[in-house]
Amino acid sequence: MNNINKTSVDEFVTHILNNNISYLSRAITLIESNNSKHQEKATQILEKCLSHASNSIRIGITGVPGVGKSTFIESFGKYLTSIGKKVAVLAIDPSSSIQKGSILGDKTRMSTLALDDNAFIRPSPSGNSLGGVARKTREAITLCEAAGFDIIIIETVGVGQSETTVHSMVDFFLLLKLANAGDELQGIKRGIIEMADTIAINKADGNAEKEAKIAKSEFSRALHLYPKKENNWIPKVLTCSALNNVGIDSIYTIIKEYIALTKENGSFLKKRSEQNKNWLFETINNELKNQFYKNSKVQNLLNLQLKRIENKEINPFQAAKEILKIKR
C-alpha cells in the first residue's frame, strides 16, 4: 500500500469502489485532515464517489456511556453480516465541552466485528467543532456507500448536541436505554427521546430482565405523550440483551418495517431530500468560513484583534467589523 500522498485520486476511487477497506480508511483520513492539500484530494475523491452511492440504510445509534453501545453494535453488526449485509460503523465522539472524555479510548471495542470481512469500523474523534464532525461524517457515509456497504451505522454518545446532528444524517434513529435509568447523571434529554424511532432497553438479562420489561411498558406509555410523527411511524419499544444476542434480530425486523413504511408513503425520500438540502447549506457555510480564515491578512488582523480584546482595548463587535473590512 502506497503513501497517502503518493496515491492518486483515481487509484483511491478505483479501490474504494472495489470495497478495498484500507483505501476507504485512508480516504476518510484525508477527509478528516486539516491539511489543505489533503482536503483538496479528499474533495476530488468524494466527487467521483458521489455518483456511486448505494441503496444503503443509515442507522443512528445513541445511548449514554454504560448502556452497552459497543456490545450492542458488535452483536447487531454480526447479525447483519450473518444475513449477508455489509456493515460500516462510524463513531462520532463529541466529548463533553467541559469534561473531556472519549468513547474511543478502548482499542478493543467491537473486536470481533472488526475482524469480520464484511464490516468496517471507523472511530472519529471530533475535537471541538461539532459542525465539522457533521460535515466529515456525512462525507464518510458517502465514501462507505460508494464502497458498497448496505448498512451504515452512526454511533454517538447520548449526552451532547451530537444527536440532533446525527439525526439529520440518518434514516432511522435507535436509542439504547437501561432499565434503571432514573439516575439523573445519566439523563437523556427529552429531545433525544422525541427523535427516537425505536427505544431498545438493553442489558435485559439475568436479574435485570424483569426490570427491563417494566421499563419497556413505562417507555411505551411515555411515548404516547408525544405527538404522532409526520411519517406515520409509531415508535417501538423493546428489550434486548446484546450480551446474549437476544432481541437483536427483532430490531432489524423493526427497521425493515420502518423502511418499508416510509418508502411506501414517500417520507423516506422526502427526509433524504431535506437532509441533502441541509448538507448544501452546511457545505456552503463551512466553505465560506474556510475561505475567509485562510486569508493571511485576515489571520494577522485576527490575531491582533484577539490581543486587543484580551487587553480590553476594543469590543468584539468593533473588532469583527474591522476584520470584515478586509478586501477578499
Cell of 166: 446525527
- Which residues contact a copy of itself (rule: CB under 8 A)? 46-47, 50-51, 64, 96-99, 139, 142, 159-161, 164, 181-182, 184-191, 193-195, 222, 225-227, 273, 276-277, 279-280, 283-285, 287-289, 292, 305-306, 309-310, 312, 315-321, 323-324
Q: Return the number of the residue (253 or 283) whose C-beta is nearest a copy of itself.
A: 283
Q: Return the number of the residue (45 or 80) whose C-beta is nearest a copy of itself.
A: 45
Beta carbons of 274 and 292 less than 8 angstroms apart: no
DSSP string, 40-71: HHHHHHHHHHHTT--S-EEEEEEE-TTS-HHH
Cell of 217: 411498558
Shortest distance, CB of residue 268 to a copy of itself, whole angstroms? 13
d(CA 119, CA 87): 5
d(CA 125, CA 28): 12
Residue with cell 466553505: 287
The 10 Å Cβ neighbour count of residue 124 is 20
Beta carbons of 275 and 142 less than 8 angstroms apart: no
Shortest distance, CB of residue 53 to a copy of itself, whole angstroms? 8
Q: Return the number of the residue (85 or 308) whose C-beta is nearest a copy of itself.
A: 308
Shortest distance, CB of residue 264 to a copy of itself, whole angstroms? 18
Cell of 227: 405527538
Shortest distance, CB of residue 294 to a copy of itself, whole angstroms? 13
Cell of 77: 453488526
Shortest distance, CB of residue 321 to a copy of itself, whole angstroms? 8
- Write the CA distances from 266 to 101, 148, 259, integer angstroms: 40, 24, 10
Q: Return the number of the residue (111 or 127) whose C-beta is nearest a copy of itself.
A: 127
Shortest distance, CB of residue 313 to a copy of itself, whole angstroms? 11
Q: Return the number of the residue (112 or 285) whose C-beta is nearest a copy of itself.
A: 285
Q: Return the number of the residue (77 or 160) whose C-beta is nearest a copy of itself.
A: 160
d(CA 112, CA 245): 14
Shortest distance, CB of residue 6 to a copy of itself, whole angstroms? 25
Q: Return the number of the residue (127 or 316) whose C-beta is nearest a copy of itself.
A: 316
d(CA 55, CA 85): 12
